[in-house]
Chain A
Amino acid sequence: MSAETTSAVGPVEGASLYDVDNPAPLIEPPRKRTKKSPKTTRTNFELYGWLFMRLSGIVLVVLVLGHLLIQLVLDGGVSKIGFAFVAGRWASPFWQTWDLVMLWLAMLHGANGLRTVINDYAERPTTRFWLKNLLYTATVFTVLLGTLVIFTFDPNIR
């Protein structure tokens, strides 16, 4: 476009339609929230969920691969596992903490992943509702059970 081209926006023609005695009508912004509009449900939950998946994922790579190495590879692999082996490991606060953090991160990471899968494939609202209900119930139950087991483990149970 050259400099000589006249502007598409011409000078305002005539006097203003409005003045102090005849003010312009007040136009409300289209999406302005008023007392009548429903309470906002917009939060950054999905952003934090997305970030959590990546951060917990990186930590879980270390925790889970370390866990697999100890349980399935080193020192005879799965053959050595038994009550005595568990008792030996949970005698140390380090491995208790390791397992506790791994339990919580893995369960929340998995639950959020499955929530995404349900949102993607379950189309009917009632199906989504019940599947997510089941998911959250099972997740809370499993996290609490696992936490209880780690904290109340008794090597002299028998």
Chain B
Amino acid sequence: MPAGTLYRGREGMWSWVAHRVTGVLIFFFLFVHVLDTALVRVSPEAYDDVVATYKTPLVALLEYGLVAAILFHALNGLRVVAVDFWSKGTRYQKQMLWTVMGIWIVLMAGALYPVLGHAVREVFGS
């Protein structure tokens, strides 16, 4: 079998799997997020109580995971658009995936302090 012609199990398949998994996770989060925001129609206290739990270290870690899922889904989604609409998209799908992963790592590093900084300060003091 010639090398590099097998789609299954390589970058193409795994990015597809990751796109599905992150998509489903984000969608489930979205339900919860609309429900918690709807509490602003109940009372300011009800909303602030729930948002207070979002500021705890454990949930901060979940938020970092949410950012990771959304950033991957967004960047890989743009890659899917390029594969579908750009004439050379399929030829460069692998390179585009590694570009996506590169940008993802840079953005995740950038989100580290803003999203997790307060959690680290709370857990380790100062």
Contacts and interface: CB of A to CB of B under 8 A. Distances in A.
B26 to A, nearest CB: 7
**Residue from the set A60, A72, A158 with the largest chain B CB neighbour count within 10 Å:** A72
Given A77-B114, A78-B63, A158-B43, A83 B48 contact: yes
Interface residues of B, number: 38
B3 interface: no
Interface residues of A, number: 38
20 contacts: A54-B85, A57-B78, A64-B70, A64-B74, A65-B70, A68-B67, A68-B70, A72-B114, A79-B55, A83-B47, A86-B47, A103-B34, A106-B30, A107-B30, A117-B24, A138-B31, A145-B35, A153-B41, A157-B40, A157-B43
Secondary structure at chain A's binding surface: helix, strand, loop or mixed?
helix
B89 interface: no
A61 interface: yes
B118 A149 contact: no
B115 A110 contact: no
B44 interface: yes
Given A64-B74, A145-B38, A153-B40, 20 more contacts: A54-B81, A54-B85, A58-B78, A60-B74, A61-B78, A78-B55, A78-B63, A81-B55, A86-B37, A86-B47, A103-B34, A110-B23, A111-B27, A113-B20, A113-B24, A114-B24, A117-B20, A117-B23, A149-B41, A158-B44
Contacts of A86: 37, 40, 47
B115 A77 contact: yes
A79 B63 CA distance: 13
Interface in A95-147: 103, 106-107, 110-111, 113-114, 117, 138, 142, 145-146
A109 to B, nearest CB: 9
Interface of B: 20, 23-24, 26-27, 30-31, 34-35, 37-38, 40-41, 43-45, 47-48, 51, 54-55, 60, 63, 67, 70-71, 74, 77-78, 80-81, 84-85, 111, 114-115, 117-118
Interface string A70-84: 001110011101111
Contacts of A84: 44
A153 B27 CA distance: 24
A40 interface: no
A80 to B, nearest CB: 10
B81 A82 contact: no
A152 interface: yes
